Chains A and B, each alone.
Chain A
Amino acid sequence: MEPAVRTRGLSKDFFGQSVLEDVDFDLRWGEIHALLGENGAGKSTLCSILAGLYHPTRGEMMLAGAPYSPHSPHAALEAGVGMVYQHFRLVEQMTVAENILLGNPDVPVRMTASGLADRAREVMDRHGLWIEPTRYVADLAVGEKQQAEIIRLLNRGVKVLILDEPTAVLTPREAEALFATLRNLADQGQGVILVTHKLREVQQSADTVTVLRSGKKVAHQGVEDTTTHDLARLMIGDDLAPGSGVDASHTTGDKLLELHSVSVVSDAATRPELDDVSLTVRAGQIVGVAGVSGNGQRELAEVITGLRTTTSGTIRLRGEDISSQTIGSRINKGMGFVPEDRLTRGLVLGLEIEDNVLLRSQRDREFSIGPFLRLSAIRQWARRLIDRFDIRGVRKGLPISVLSGGNLQRLILARELSRQPALLVASEPTRGLDVGAAEAVRTTLKTERGRGVGILLFSGDLEEVLGISDEVVVMYEGRIVASRPASEVDVAQVGRWMAGVT
């Protein structure tokens, strides 16, 4: 039988830079095929070409044995190739049924709500999937939205389903449900391409894996024939970062950041965002904040950095009360901040790299004299950061929105760390990064700790928190429910605290 998808010598250049080079890729019917690679390895580009979003610079594609070169996502969909993006293509204000049938040429112009719901049910029954069709998309959980998106594509007769990092937005339980759905679809004969950089997911769910590195295919094999270790090596290359445990000799110093009974109450009717939070970060210490997301971590980071005001309590930096100081003066006193919303808050995507390295330093003597910017100093500084932190894809005269996600993340870290902060508040600094890059970030954080920087680390990755912190703090419903040296706790115990069990 002809393979579902076959590409030969597929290549793509952006601005003269090759992002995909001579890729031969085969997808069989009825298999889940993982596409593995680091950020910027070319996974998304390959999928975007298959889904008709980009055109290949060179190379050819076959779909079920026939030549295939979609000129638009719509044409790809008509040919039977559909993609589930990280940001869903759903209309929030419409019901599930309306979304599923939206744009379907067979649906009559006028149709009653119940008629639509029946049609949607039919589609779902056919594929063994279920979401109540009369619910509004805005009310769905993320995992359910993703299911709705999949159903929508199946309704359009999609035979090859591409999912771009589908688990990035899912809880572990939702991810399991997704994998069950995909297995079910594969058993019905669909071809499924799963883009990921998580090794565990490949082992857990895929039949076959293709590994991309720097735009080239480096491996294509059955999942049973490989181990996580092999895959990691293939993905990152031989320069695998050394593991943790290099933090033997560091001493913690004076109290750097002290919070005393800090509360934030924005609405008296609901529970406070932060409730009587006290904690201390010393120089040369990493304090890790664990907790299920939405339990006050964001508010805590914002109140410390000045984006949010306290309702009561005091925040001291090196003994000085900074509770009511502006963000600018906190920056001047040596507070670095890697925010959680890196694309909307941490960076200015529409501006160039020089403008982005300058963010938060624009009043610094090094970069401005009175009202004037020192453009050449800024340019040199940008060049140094690009070199030192290996930021790739920067193009002169173009906004940084052309950079890949991993490079954007490196850019923020480069900027905040290179300002030599006394205190660094880092929210999810490794989220969305691949194994190698995440490890590099952790190593950098540890190096900074060795230099005497106090670090407050917020992370949803429990292993990360326990792995590099000296002190672990657990948040639950806006309160700190536990605070222990990292060496005295284990994952299971912290997990219980996070769930509110004391």
Chain B
Amino acid sequence: MTAPAVDRAAPRSGRWHIPITVEQRAASRFLQQLGVNLVALVLAFGLGAILLLMAGDNPFDVYREMFDRAFGSSRALRETLRSTTPLILTGLAVTVCFRMGLWSIGAEGQLIAGSVAGAAAALVLGPSLPAPLAVAAVVIAAALGGAAWATLASVPRALFGTDEVVTTLMLNFVALGIMNYLIYGSVSYWRDRTNLGFPAGKVIPESAQLDPYFGVFDAGLIISLALALIVALALRRTVWGYQLRVAGDSRAAASYAGISATRQIISVFAVSGALAGIAGGTFVMSITFALEPRAIAVNLGFVGIVVAAVALLKPLLVVPIAFLMGALLSIAPSLSIFGVSPAVVIVIQGIILLCVAGAQFFIRYRVRITRVEVGSR
């Protein structure tokens, strides 16, 4: 006898009530979704403008400058897309785990593990392989590195129920410590030995460096877009994805359906770790060209959590959100040089994300103004 609990009255305010009804939409069309998101962006920039005016800046100038620095030139667009690639991948990594109710916050550490493994593959195999094979080798090594790092947390989780939030978080610091040690603390294979007075990573061979096509985007972006598509299809169209969705909704139903929790947890973590690891591998191939701890550990794994959450754990939605987030990240440092307070830029970024996240509510629900009969009280 459970009727859908989607029709609820709005709370009262004072002695009056707000005549609004919220109803779940049966289905939302693409254009509707696009429209709602555009309205959200306009609203965000409107609110941001008020803030900028209060801070004494001309909002039009600031917005034009922001736009120019994110998309205005091929160089700006390249920077934006370079930030987008790893965010798509870490966003996907988080999405996969969260969809099963595994609260992994280890994408950061898995990305680092992927960078270390990817850089190793580039340094060892790069010189002897042609470009496409060298890139493939780095991607595979990075995926394995990330997956292995995730497995350190997943096996205790699957076998003994160890809290994955704690283990994945702590492993992030362990990964960072190891990477720092490899470059700053030792004369390791990854370190540039030509100048030991100045610690830096050894530059990977050119066959493993990604050149931007048309000066704008490189193979890393193509790989990440392909993976977004693959993750989306895997969730919807494979037995593995089905079992993940069932386990994410009800563990009791999953065991009833004969789904092995142990196996599913380990495989989901491995896939998640591999995606984050590839983020590290592509980062090395297209941005740092070496194992550079200071450039690699810039919270891309943590921002991935924000991307996944705003994208409502939908793999295809991760792509535009990562793009938006990538643009915001790439303009932040240059804008503060332009004279706008960095704090204001951060607040505007927050407002934009908040509005986009809030917009998703209006995509799933319809809000109607309802008539109030006279004498209703």
Contact of B252 among A345, A350, A397 (CB under 8 A): A345
Q: A60: which B residues are within 8 A, CB to CB?
A: 373
* Distance A471 CA – B8 CA, assembled complex (angstroms): 49
A327 nearest in chain B by CB position = B258
B237 to chain A, nearest CB (A): 5
Q: Does A442 lie at the interface of the complex (its beta carbon under 8 Å from any beta carbon of B)?
A: no
Q: Does B1 lie at the interface of the complex (its beta carbon under 8 Å from any beta carbon of A)?
A: yes
Contact A346:B245 (CB < 8 A) given known A372-B238, A404-B3: no
B243 touches A44 (CB 8 A): no
A69 touches B373 (CB 8 A): yes
**Residues of A275-291 contacting chain B, CB below 8 A:** none
Q: Does B38 lie at the interface of the complex (its beta carbon under 8 Å from any beta carbon of A)?
A: no
Q: Does A74 lie at the interface of the complex (its beta carbon under 8 Å from any beta carbon of B)?
A: yes
A349 touches B4 (CB 8 A): no
B268 to chain A, nearest CB (A): 14
Q: Does A363 lie at the interface of the complex (its beta carbon under 8 Å from any beta carbon of B)?
A: yes
A398 touches B24 (CB 8 A): yes
A351 touches B1 (CB 8 A): no
B4 nearest in chain A by CB position = A402
* Distance A372 CA – B240 CA, assembled complex (angstroms): 8
Contact A398:B26 (CB < 8 A) given known A55-B9, A363-B239, A373-B239: yes
B253 touches A347 (CB 8 A): yes
**Residues of B352-375 contacting chain A, CB below 8 A:** 370, 372-373, 375
B3 touches A71 (CB 8 A): no
* Distance A67 CA – B372 CA, assembled complex (angstroms): 12
B17 touches A72 (CB 8 A): yes
Contact A15:B373 (CB < 8 A) given known A54-B3, A372-B237, A404-B1: no
Contact of B246 among A337, A355, A397 (CB under 8 A): A355
B249 touches A55 (CB 8 A): no
Q: Does B2 lie at the interface of the complex (its beta carbon under 8 Å from any beta carbon of A)?
A: yes
Q: B12: which A residues are within 8 A, CB to CB?
A: 71-72, 74-75
Q: B337: which A residues are within 8 A, CB to CB?
A: none
B376 to chain A, nearest CB (A): 4
Compute the total of residue contacts between A and B using a CB distance below 8 Å: 140
Q: A448: which B residues are within 8 A, CB to CB?
A: none
Q: B239: which A residues are within 8 A, CB to CB?
A: 362-363, 368, 371-373
Q: A74: which B residues are within 8 A, CB to CB?
A: 12
CB 8 Å contact bits of A358-373 with B (1 = contact, 0 = none):
1110110000100111
User: Could you say which of A45-53, A240-248, A491-499 contacts chain B?
Assistant: A45-53
Please count how many residues in chain B sit with their CB below 8 Å of the partner chain's CB atoms: 42
Contact A52:B9 (CB < 8 A) given known A373-B242, A397-B26, A398-B26: yes
CB 8 Å contact bits of B2-19 with A (1 = contact, 0 = none):
111011111110000101
A48 to chain B, nearest CB (A): 7
**Residues of B273-327 contacting chain A, CB below 8 A:** none
B6 to chain A, nearest CB (A): 8
B59 to chain A, nearest CB (A): 40
Q: Does A89 lie at the interface of the complex (its beta carbon under 8 Å from any beta carbon of B)?
A: no
B175 to chain A, nearest CB (A): 30
Q: B260: which A residues are within 8 A, CB to CB?
A: 326, 328
Q: Does B257 lie at the interface of the complex (its beta carbon under 8 Å from any beta carbon of A)?
A: yes
Q: A341: which B residues are within 8 A, CB to CB?
A: 252
B258 touches A345 (CB 8 A): no
* Distance A350 CA – B372 CA, assembled complex (angstroms): 33
B1 touches A165 (CB 8 A): yes
- Residue of B249, B258, B370 with highest tally of chain A CB at under 10 A: B258
Q: Does B27 lie at the interface of the complex (its beta carbon under 8 Å from any beta carbon of A)?
A: yes
* Distance A67 CA – B373 CA, assembled complex (angstroms): 9
Contact of B256 among A40, A165, A359 (CB under 8 A): A359
A245 to chain B, nearest CB (A): 30
A39 to chain B, nearest CB (A): 6
A371 touches B11 (CB 8 A): no
* Distance A331 CA – B257 CA, assembled complex (angstroms): 8
* Distance A218 CA – B252 CA, assembled complex (angstroms): 41
B256 touches A339 (CB 8 A): yes
Contact of A54 among B7, B10, B26, B237 (CB under 8 A): B7
Contact A307:B253 (CB < 8 A) given known A362-B242, A397-B26, A404-B1: no
* Distance A405 CA – B108 CA, assembled complex (angstroms): 44
Q: A401: which B residues are within 8 A, CB to CB?
A: 2, 4
Q: Does A173 lie at the interface of the complex (its beta carbon under 8 Å from any beta carbon of B)?
A: no
B3 touches A360 (CB 8 A): no
A346 touches B4 (CB 8 A): no
* Distance A306 CA – B258 CA, assembled complex (angstroms): 9
CB 8 Å contact bits of A324-354 with B (1 = contact, 0 = none):
0011111100000101010011111111000
Q: Does B180 lie at the interface of the complex (its beta carbon under 8 Å from any beta carbon of A)?
A: no
9 contacts across the A-B interface (CB closer than 8 A): A72-B10, A72-B11, A72-B17, A344-B250, A349-B250, A350-B250, A355-B245, A362-B242, A398-B26
